[in-house]
Amino acid sequence: MATSVKAALIGVAAFLLAGCAGGVGAGIGIGIPVGIPGVSIGVGVGTGGVRAGVNAGAGPVGVGVGVNQNGQVSAGAGVGVSKNVGGASVGVGVGTSTVIYDPNAPKTNQTPGSIPGMGP
């Protein structure tokens, strides 16, 4: 099985878990190799919503960055296995991720004078 297909499955699994902070999630996704060994783009849907991203992997390990329907950007890592079933790659993986940017998060309005150790 091509490494990029494994990376796609693993990356999608990691991102699907991202929408379930502190819990367990499930979903399904697809990854498409982009011509660079081990790198793919993927899209998936699961308990955390719709997610699209870029994944890279080698062997059973994958990492990636994705965005969900709310604009949250997450980084994730996971491990998994896949098997060719009737011409399609079917796999399962587990992973973890964290939101690295949330456009809906409350903004902190700090000025240089309000940062400890800066200003008067």
Mean pLDDT of 40-53: 85
Number of domains, the chain: 1
Give percent of the chain with pLDDT exceeding 70: 68
Which residues are CB-contacts of 60 (< 8 A; sequence separation ≥ 6)?
6, 10, 79, 80, 81
Which residue in the block uniquely carries the two structure tokens 């709310």?
Answer: 70
52-103 pLDDT per residue, tens: 999 888 888 888 899 999 999 989 888 888 888 887 777 788 888 888 999 9
Q: Does residue 53 form part of some domain?
A: yes
Determine the pLDDT at residue 91.
79
- What distance, in Å, lies between the first and last C-alpha atoms of the chain? 62
Which residue range is the domain that position 80 belongs to? 3-114
pTM confidence score = 0.62
Residue type, 82: S
CB of 18 closer than 8 Å to CB of 103? no
pLDDT score of 18 more than 70: no
Determine the pLDDT at residue 57.
86
Distance CA 69, CA 86 (A): 32
